[in-house]
Structures are given as structure tokens and as C-alpha cells.
């Protein structure tokens, strides 16, 4: 994984501050391969549905999609 311990800590802390303490952050993409260079940081952020609804990230209307 091509992230420093400091970067990992900052990402985790920022996600918890924004989305709540139960947030899970997953790294994917080229940063997982130590042999590659450059690239952006691809993150999947999993947060409680309650928070997602409050912020408009998740709609209660299941007919949209």
C-alpha cells in the first residue's frame, strides 16, 4: 500500500469527524500496488444510512435510481 502511516491516520480521522465514529474507509485502485507510481487515492467510505439520509447522500425514496 502506497500510503504512509500518517496519511492513513489522517484519512481515518477525517472520515470519522465528518461521517461519524462507525465509518469504514476502504482503499482501492492503484495505491494498493507498491510497484506502481503516482495516481490518485481511491476511497470507498461506508457510513451509517442515518447519516447519509440526513446529508442527502441517500434518499428515502426507493423509486429514484
Task: Kindly state the DSSP code that residue 21 receives in the 8-state scheme.
Answer: T
Residue-wise pLDDT for 5-50, tens only, equals: 999 999 999 999 888 888 999 989 888 877 887 778 889 998 876 6
Dmax over CA atoms of the chain, in Å, equals: 44
- Indicate the burial class of 44 (C-beta count within 10 angstroms; 0-12, 13-18, 19 or more): exposed
| Total-model pTM | 0.67
Amino acid at each position: 500500500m502506497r500510503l504512509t502511516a500518517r496519511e492513513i491516520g489522517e484519512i481515518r480521522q477525517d472520515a470519522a469527524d465528518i461521517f461519524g465514529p462507525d465509518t469504514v474507509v476502504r482503499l482501492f485502485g492503484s495505491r494498493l500496488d507498491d510497484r506502481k507510481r503516482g495516481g490518485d487515492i481511491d476511497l470507498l467510505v461506508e457510513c451509517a444510512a442515518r447519516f447519509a439520509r440526513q446529508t442527502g447522500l441517500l434518499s428515502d425514496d426507493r423509486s429514484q435510481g
